Structures are given as structure tokens and as C-alpha cells.
Amino acid sequence: MPRLRLLPALPALACLLAIPVATPARAAPDHASAVYVFDTARTLCERDGGTLWGESLCGPILIVDPADRAIIANRQDPGGVLVEQDGVFTGTLPATAVLANTRVEWSGTDWTQLLWPVPFEPSLLRVLLAHEMFHRIQPGLGLTRNEAGNRHLDTLEGRYLLQLEWRALARALMADDADARRAHISDALAFRLERRRLFAAAAAEEAALEISEGIAEYTGVRLGLSRDEERRAFAVFDLARFLDSPSFVRSFAYASGPAYGLLLDDADPDWRGRLGDDADLGRLLAGALRITAAVPADLDARQRRYDTDGRLRASEEARERERIARVSGWRATLVEGPVLVLPLQSANFQFNPQTLAALDDVGTVYPTLRLTDTWGELAVVEGGAALVHADHKRATVALPQDGDGTKGDGWSLSLKPGWRLAPGSRAGDMTLVREGGAAVPQP
């Protein structure tokens, strides 16, 4: 399990957090396991009865095997593609559909899609189910947000202040005394405000992802677990298990969302009704506890409370040196060198959010990626990298000196009929052209 570096002073949590995060590999989704998952999901949503969000989480669920896109579903699809078999429904998900734990529109309805294998440790399974079932109803609740880069969370100061915030939140969640809890929350908010003072776009970008994914993970913890002490322990576990993510750029909200949500449950039980377009979980918590929204004068002293020996700072400084070298390499291959430019028009992305990395102000690097668009599919595997530019209008991969331009180190391109490669706007670059037509305009 992840190293619980957040919690050196909280050994009592060990028994509560001693749950595996890996699931043994299974050959394929089987009928009995699928029925167990569906029954667990139904129990969760019926127990909630629509109380938390004013709408039931019960609905269509697809379990999909990524190996061959085989489906086991809990109900018939309106399009009539699935076939009933012993109380479940089977079929194959088309290649055009996204593969991810998420909400997916397919065959006439909105589904909760779960990729096989799912975790069968009871707490992990219930949290996952409630999280993903919430995503299906999320748009109707007005709780989807346009996600931005959060590239500041791949910098030294951004990462350091975020981890100090997480350490303070962990102590707040475990505090039995109301005054101690408030003091730790005040510290967490101080680190949060300082980060947003340093990075102008941080407040809006972080708030958007905390609503989109943080609220979903909060829902998973709140509905997947039945006792308050279990929920708080799992929220601390979430804060710990994302420490080893290669990047916090998109993973951070899964950790902070449950922490702020549960603390808000205690401070202001009606907070969920105040999630307007500009909602910010930290600001809601500060208002509920009447904590001044300003960076305190004693910020350095507060930092020493959560990094007493300076080891966290030293670790982040070492990582920053490595990041600078890595970014220099990406800039040389994905920006300055010859590239294949892929215009983004109606793109769908599949990726691991824990691996994304910022390339300064240029865009976001995806070390693994499946990208589909009108022209076909780009597949990036370990050892490769793709750059999605900050304007979200184009992606680039490093172009080798030889070959036909459809393969490179760690990536391959599959074009749909009617498309071909052509010289790009820079010497040595290539881009896409429709057969018999002009190149796709590049920004």
C-alpha cells in the first residue's frame, strides 16, 4: 500500500487503512462477480434513497473488459444491442466508445462504466461504485466544470504547499477536539491561499477539478462507507495514497475532495446546496468556520509544524531538479524538434490522470494516451509521450527521421480512410490532410 507519509503521528489509523489498493488480475468478467457488483451498487443507492444529492444514484451500469470490450450490464440498452443472459445483459462495446471508469453515453442511454477488474475489497469497491454512479447524474446536478491545466501543481512551490495543505487536512480529520480541528483547518487554508497568491490561475483551475472529481470522490466516501470514523479514515487514506502519483496536476482533487467535503459536513451540513458556478470548497469551509481568508503573517512557522525536519522541502527540491531536466528533454523533442501535429477537432482522450505532467506554459504531457478524433487514433504507450497544447487545438508527438510518419518511439497512428500525412508549417514537421483536400488548419 502507499507510504503513509502524511501520518507519522497517527499510528492508530494503521488498522483502519490496512486495505489493499491492487486487485488480483482476472481472466475476464464472470457472471457471478458482475452480479455481486450490481447487487452492491443497488444496496448503496437504495440505502441513500437520493438523500445526499436529491436524486437516486441507481441506474444503468456497464462492466467492460478492456482486453476485448466485452460487456456485462445490469439492464437492457434502449438500442437493443445487448443480449439477456441469466439475468444480466452481454455484448461488445464499439471501438468508438471511450474506455474508462466514467459516465458514458451509448446505445440510447447514459451508463456508469466500470473497467474490469474492479477492486473486490469491500470498502474500495463501495467507494468506487458510489463515485462512478455519481458521475452519471453529475451533469443533471450542474456540477460539471471545464477542467483546466493546473500546471502549477507540477512546480516546486505548488507541490510543496499542496502537500502541506494535505498534512494539515489529515490532522484536522483525525482531531477529536473542535478547537484543534479548527486550527489545522486554518493552517490548511493558509497554505492553499499562499499557493493561489503565487499562481494567478490556481484558484479557478483547482476549484473546477475539485468540483468535477473531488465531489465525486467525496460522494464515494460518504455513501460507500456507513460510519463517520470509517469515512474520515478513508479520506486520510485518500490523502496518503496519491502522494506517490507521478504528478498532482490532475490527481490532487481525488485526495482533497473527500477531506473538504467531510469537514464541511461537520461545519455546515447544508453546504451541498451552495455549489454555484464559482463554488470553492476551501472558501465554503472558511466561511462556515469564520476563518479569515488571508495569508497569515506566521506562514513560515505554520510550515514548520508540518515539515519539522525539512525533509519534505528537500525531497521536493530534488524532484524539481529532475523535473527541469525532464522538461528540457520534452521541449527538445515535442516542441523544438520535428513533430507530427495532430489538430484536435472532436477529440476523445483516455489516459492515466496520475501521470500527466506540465510543460511550463506550453501544455500538458501525456506519457500514455489513447486519442481519437475525426482523422483516426493515436496510441501512446510507456516510453512515449504526447503534448497537448494549452489551447487544446493540437497535439504533437516527436517525429522520427525515418519511416512513414505513422510510428515513433512509444506511439503509433492509425488513420481513417480519406486521410494522409503531409508536410507541416515548419520544415521537418508533418500534419494531416484529407485526400483531395487541403491540410487541416493549424493554430
Taking the domains of the chain in order of start, what are their residue ranges?
Answer: 24-118, 151-308, 327-434
Please give the pLDDT value at position 439.
54
Nearest to 308 by CA among 167, 112, 166, 421: 167
Euclidean distance between the first and final Cα of the chain, in Å?
Answer: 44
Q: Give the DSSP letter of residue 75.
A: S
Q: Which helix (H) or strand (E) holds 304?
A: helix 299-306
**How many angstroms separate the CA atoms of 261 and 272, rounded?**
9
Question: In which residue are the cell numbers 521537418 written?
Answer: 428
Contact between 366 and 386 (Cβ < 8 Å):
yes
What is d(CA 72, CA 84) in angstroms, rounded to the nearest whole number?
A: 10
pLDDT at 361: 81
Here the cell at position 297 is 503573517
pTM (two decimals) = 0.82
- H-state helical runs in 199-227: 202-209, 215-224
371 three-state secondary structure: strand
Strand arrangement, sheet containing 430-434 = 357-359, 363-366, 386-389, 394-398, 339-343, 430-434, 419-423
Distance CA 330, CA 323 (A): 10
Element (H, E) at 413: strand 411-415
Kindly report whether the peptide bond that precedes residue 117 is cis, defined as omega within 30 degrees of 0: yes
| Residue 274 to residue 384: CA distance in whole angstroms | 43
pLDDT digits (tens, 9 = 90+) for 36-46: 999 999 999 99
> What are the C-alpha distances in Å from 154 to residues 167, 170, 201, 280, 364?
18, 22, 14, 21, 10
Convert the pLDDT of each residue in 2-16 to its tens digit.
333 444 333 333 333
Question: What stretches of 225-298 show up as alpha helix (H) in DSSP?
Answer: 228-241, 252-267, 281-289
Which one, of 396, 391, 404, 331, lies nearest residue 369 by Cα?
Answer: 396
Grid coordinates representing 251 are 490527481
Q: Please give the C-alpha separations between residue 205 and each of 24, 216, 312, in angstroms, as whole numbers.
A: 36, 17, 25
Amino acid residing at 334: L
Per-residue DSSP letter, 334: I
pLDDT of 138 reads: 98
Bridge partners of 407, per DSSP, are 412
- Checking DSSP bridges between strand 348-350 and strand 369-373, what pairing results, if any? antiparallel
Q: Which residues of the chain have pLDDT under 50?
A: 1-25
